[in-house]
Amino acid sequence: MSKQRIDFEQSCVIDESDIGSYLVEVENFEETVKLAIKTYIIRVKNGSTREYDFTEFVGDQLMRYVFSSDKIDKLYDDKKAPHRIAQRRAGFKKDHIRDGKLGELILFLIMEGFYRFPLACHKLNTKQSHSQEVLGADGLFFGEWKGDDYLAIGESKIYSDCMRGLREALDSILRFHGPGAVNALDQDMKIVRNNPSGNLDPPLLDHLLSNLNDFSSLRRLYPIFVCYEEDNFQNILQEETDDGQIIEAMEEIVTKNDHSSRVNRAFNSERERVKQDQLHFIFLPVKNADDFRERLKRAVFPRFEDIT
């Protein structure tokens, strides 16, 4: 792979300071050279988590996940509302518990804002039918990790039970490993080749496309986003009033949750296959997963009944 110096950050449309206003990292370590774990929590203000502010921020970013910046500008120039068009293009399902787009959108913000991996293509704007939404990755990104270039193939889950989210996420990326892996990868690579994001500056776009010519040798990183319910967060919010003490107490709970042990327990003999690539598990515990998902849905798709 080429070692030419490429500026990946220049093509990111989400700033670290933007998402950093709502999420704080409380855990970051490498279990092995190919397995990393990060945990974020929603910031606290005046004794409460900023869930409402965060979900509203996520909702505002949908159009940036669906369209490039140039396309958004053109829609505005044509007197159209890109956020409304993005809602329709996203094809959100009424079965939003199993619809991955809400977690997919948060993963996009984390990958661009914190990892500085720009989005490689706007998949939701390329799907010809919403029946295709079960296929492919939850976001494709291209960036640098420890001096090497990686194609990041995302997967996201929002469930009350953390272990369920982990197991289902690992099952989802199994299609990229073992029998049928070439076809699964080729499906996503074709989308990137034919519809690369307009946000990628010319040198980065050329670099990405040249690497996709032989994607079998392209290094792959799988960011696995799991948002789950942590009951003890609610107890803390009822007992503590100081914002700093609330964050410290939440951080202690995250440590006790032992995400490393949970990740290891999620693997079985079949899922072990995915360990050949870089795996980054990204956790977001919330006080109530169902309430968070509902609030997120209403922020991202405020005209939900009209859209569906």
In a domain, 3, yes or no: no
Tens digit of pLDDT for each residue in 13-55?
999 999 999 999 999 999 888 999 999 999 999 999 999 999 9
Mean pLDDT over all residues of the chain?
89
Tens digit of pLDDT for each residue in 68-81?
999 999 999 999 99
**C-alpha pair distances (Å), 69 with each of 73, 74, 197, 198:** 6, 9, 9, 7
**Structural domain for 298, as ranges:** 9-307
In a domain, 171, yes or no: yes
Looking up tokens 């039970």 gives 161
Instruction: Name the token pair of 1.
Output: 């792979």
CA nearest to 53, candidates 295, 301, 221: 295
pTM (2 d.p.): 0.92
In a domain, 1, yes or no: no
In a domain, 192, yes or no: yes
Pairing of strands 44-45, 35-42: unpaired
Q: How many domains is the chain partitioned into structurally?
A: 1
In a domain, 30, yes or no: yes
Tens digit of pLDDT for each residue in 77-103?
999 999 989 988 877 655 444 556 899
pLDDT band at 116 (very low <50, low <70, confident <90, very high): very high
More confident residue, 136 or 69: 69
In a domain, 66, yes or no: yes
